[in-house]
Amino acid sequence: MTGVQSNSHLLLSGNEACAEGAIRAGVRFFAGYPITPSSEIAETMARRLPEVGGKFIQMEDEIGSISAIVGASLAGLKVMDATSGPGLSLKAEGLGLAVMLEVPCVLVNVQRMGPSTGMATLPSQMDVMMSRWGTHGDHPIIVISPCSVRETFELTVKAVNLAERFRSPVILLSDAVVARMREKVVLPGEVEIVNRVRPAVLPEQYRPYAAGPNGVAPMADFGSGYYWYANSSVHDENGYEATSKPEVATRLLQRLHAKIYEHLNELPQGEAFMMDDAEVAVYAYGITARAAKAAVRMARERGLKVGLLRPVTIWPFLSGLVDPYVSGLTALLVPELNMGQLVDKVREVVGGRSKVESLSRYDGQIITPEQILVAVTKIMGR
Amino acid sequence: MAKPAELASTKELIEKYIRRNGVPSIWCPGCGIGTVVGSMLRAIDHLRLRQEDVVIVTGIGCSGLIYNYLRFDGFHGTHGRALAIATGIKAANPRLHVVVPMGDGDCAAIGGNHFIHAARRNIDLTAIVINNQIYGMTGGQSSPTTVQQSRTSTAPRGHLERPFDVCELAKGAGATYIARGVTSNPIQLADLLERAMAHKGFSVVEVLSQCPVQAGRRAGRSEPWEMLQWLKGVTVSAKRGTDDVSLGKFITGELLKEDAPEWTEEYDKLIAIAGGRS
């Protein structure tokens, strides 16, 4: 892939589409560390960024790379880093830092089979809970998951925009298949761009952690004369140390959550496919959703009323995708490339209104449409 | 960078750079960090760096709280990561003077990898390694610069391991400016910090400093003046020659200065070759 043309047919991998999406969304700094199966994102960024006046740096380790993007974002750039499971474990620290400092940044996690080094080249969806709770302390996080090369491009743009909108880290949760398969795509001529809100007040009046009307505090670039304190310890609205003030800690954590949870309608919900008359829904995301969609079509050919619910935003969990359909369903089937992670959240949200069944695979192989069809058929007693 | 004819008074420095509602500081009476901050502010002021162009990046520990009292853009965050954060800030905006005060634990233990690689890259940052040979804030545990046999809360029978020489470590890793100062000589320290900040490339100033409460107390030097007397005794200026090295003293002063390609300048050339605009 060289300087990518819009509106022409391209054969891209998910990782290449991710890098191109980042460039188009305005990312101008990428810090990375090599890891399979995400390295092509770093390689593509290393080549592309200087062409648009941006910078790429290969840091000494995974912690260094997420730290560097936090620094570059403080200085005003849109930033990204990419890794896979073992790297995500190390970046947990930096994610919490970005949450607490409220620094916009995108972290791509291309899931591979684990735990530990696991199966480096083979896919999984085993980082679903890690992406939600990987860093310590109560924190909100936005996680979105693409199921195709084209959607990887779109959601990378979206991830950058959401990070800027919410002053928050955003995780793009890909997997080894979506990241490395090649698909024909046509990239759009223009993409929507969102820029962080910068302060409109004088430096003396600036409060870097006081929420504006959109729930988020304006963010000044380091070097613009605002003299603000990016402070990872509990801080007041000015950023100053408040590590022995319970009421300040309460307000801070509540505000960190509210800025996202009070604006859930701004997150991409996902897709409901053939759900209008469905008796059974397959609830699937990422690469597994591709197989699920094929399975739904096969089921429909056999006269089975089966639909697909495909969440794009994984965290926060958006019950709005499920709620309108639950009363008409006898069961939801949740296929995942793990031992059952998001299925627990689906069960919690469905709350007994319908059966919820898990279909697990955790051997580094993908779930096939046939496997899903067999499971659906069994659920429907056919 | 034209210099002002006269040095600013302490009062002028305080009014310009100290955030008045931040003080009094959290540091124990007799701590050396305040001396380092004073010398750092003198260096910044004497170089006439624009206040909005200076960013102070700190890590964790007693030195990690330096920013609490200052009026610059500043960062206080994860333990050991200050130089990695600073690398991102500098890469994003090379106009900024990024000054990175760290403790010996922050820099040479948990942040050791970032330290040697920032030096290898020769990115234009100024690392100030405040070396009091102890983890002060967490209660006096051994650090990578704790000298053998000294007692700490994690070495109650004496510390077994050999200490790092921070300046030698920086040299081996490729830093292009290296100096050692000591809190018992704040005038020399301000001069060294000024030279380090003016240097284009990765600069390191190790500052031998005192922690009377956690280190001194266990060494029979719990009074700050005893610590300063001790620091005077274990250091010798580079100008006096190196005869004292054999006696195990620390040489203070400028230890290395060399010109080498700097990371952000080299990257700008790469952008020009790639056809981008920086």
Domain ranges of chain A: 9-186, 269-379
- Chain A, residues 323-342, CB within 8 A of chain B, namely none
Of all residues in chain A, the one with the smallest CA distance to B73 is A227
Kindly report the nearest CA distance between residue A321 and chain B, in angstroms. Answer: 37
**Is pLDDT larger for residue B240 or for residue B107?**
B107
Per residue in A232-245, pLDDT (tens digit) is: 999 999 999 999 99
Q: What's the DSSP call for residue A338? A: S
CA distance A263 to A250: 20
pLDDT band of residue A4 (cuts 50, 70, 90) is low
The set of residues, in sequence order, having a beta carbon less than 8 Å from that of B146 and lying 6+ positions away, is B133, B134, B152, B155, B159, B161, B163
- State the number of CA atoms in the 13 A half-sphere of B245 facing the CB: 8
Other Cβ atoms less than 10 A from the Cβ of B260: the count is 12
Angle A243-A245-A249 (CA atoms, 0-180°, nearest 5)? 80
Cβ contacts (< 8 Å) between B62 and chain A: which residues?
none
**Is pLDDT larger for residue B276 or for residue A117?**
A117
Q: What CATH number was assigned to the domain covering residues B27-274?
A: 3.40.50.970
The set of residues, in sequence order, having a beta carbon less than 8 Å from that of B130 and lying 6+ positions away, is B32, B33, B36, B63, B101, B102, B103, B104, B207, B209
pLDDT band of residue A1 (cuts 50, 70, 90) is very low
pLDDT averaged over chain A? 97
Per residue in A103-160, pLDDT (tens digit) is: 999 999 999 999 999 999 999 999 999 999 999 999 999 999 999 999 999 999 999 9
Mean pLDDT, residues B150-167: 96
CA distance A8 to A331: 42
Other Cβ atoms less than 10 A from the Cβ of B14: the count is 15
The residue of A74, A100, A196, A237 whose CB has the most chain B CBs within 10 angstroms, and thus the best one to mutate to test that interface, is A74
Cβ contacts (< 8 Å) between A57 and chain B: which residues?
87, 91
pLDDT averaged over chain B? 94
Cβ contacts (< 8 Å) between B270 and chain A: which residues?
50
Mean pLDDT, residues A318-332: 97
Structure tokens that stand for A348 in this block: 């919690």
CATH 3.40.50.920 applies to domain A269-379: yes
- Chain B, residues 71-90, CB within 8 A of chain A, namely 71-78, 81, 84-90
Residue A189: the pLDDT is 87
Mean pLDDT, residues A284-305: 98
Per residue in A19-78, pLDDT (tens digit) is: 999 999 999 999 999 999 999 999 999 999 999 999 999 999 999 999 999 999 999 999
Per residue in A214-266, pLDDT (tens digit) is: 999 999 999 999 999 999 999 999 999 999 999 999 999 999 999 999 999 99
B77 closest CB neighbour out of A77, A101, A226: A101
Residue B236: the pLDDT is 92
Please check the confidence at residue B2 and state whether its pLDDT lies above 60.
Answer: no
Q: Does A363 touch chain B (CB under 8 A)?
A: no
Q: Does B265 touch chain A (CB under 8 A)?
A: no
Of all residues in chain B, the one with the smallest CA distance to A76 is B92
Please check the confidence at residue B246 and state whether its pLDDT lies above 80.
Answer: no
Cβ pair B93:A76 closer than 8 A: yes
Of all residues in chain A, the one with the smallest CA distance to B58 is A231
Assembly ipTM: 0.96
Cβ pair A31:B78 closer than 8 A: no
Q: Does A208 touch chain B (CB under 8 A)?
A: no
A69 closest CB neighbour out of B55, B88, B113: B88
Q: Which fold has domain A9-186?
A: Rossmann fold (3.40.50)
A9-186 and A269-379 in the same fold: yes
Please check the confidence at residue B36 and state whether its pLDDT lies above 60.
Answer: yes
